[in-house]
Structure 1
Amino acid sequence: MAKSDKLYVTDAECAERIGLQTQDFKDMLPTLERSGFPFRDPLFKDRHYWPAVRAFLDKRAGLASSFVQRKPSVPVVKDGKVW
């Protein structure tokens, strides 16, 4: 399995993928968790679920996500026909 294919990552691996030093990541983790950053999962040896971390960071950066449900557009009625 390639390193980037791992779903559950340690603090050090998470920090590396984000581009931070491990200690810097650990220092900011409590603040991030209060903002909704995914908690470590005890079932998986207290590791972070990387797809959830990535989704959190994408949302924090303002990127649209493919899994966000969008409101349906309002149909336009013209001359009795729905467009």
Structure 2
Amino acid sequence: MEDARRSKQLRKFVQKLGLSETAPVDWALLDLALTHPSISAEANYQQLEFVGDAVVRLVASELLLETYPECPVGEFAAIRSVMVSDRTLA
């Protein structure tokens, strides 16, 4: 994050979120999370979205396995797909 203007915008955004000035912030990661693919095809939020989607699927899988250990795997897959769908999470 080299652009001084962008840095100022990110700092203002963090302040609006109510985070303290001493809160540890990974500025490069925040910048990446807020960068649309139309701005940068190489570095944008899509990489983080990909990882985040995988984490949500993992958590849903663990929840199902812990809550319903007797349920067949095929049913888990169907239930998980509904749990992590855009419609459900929107």
> TM-score, with normalisation over the residues of structure 1?
0.29
Structure with the bigger RCO (C-alpha within 8 Å, sep 6+) is: 1
Higher helix proportion: 2
**Which of the pair is proportionally richer in strand?**
1
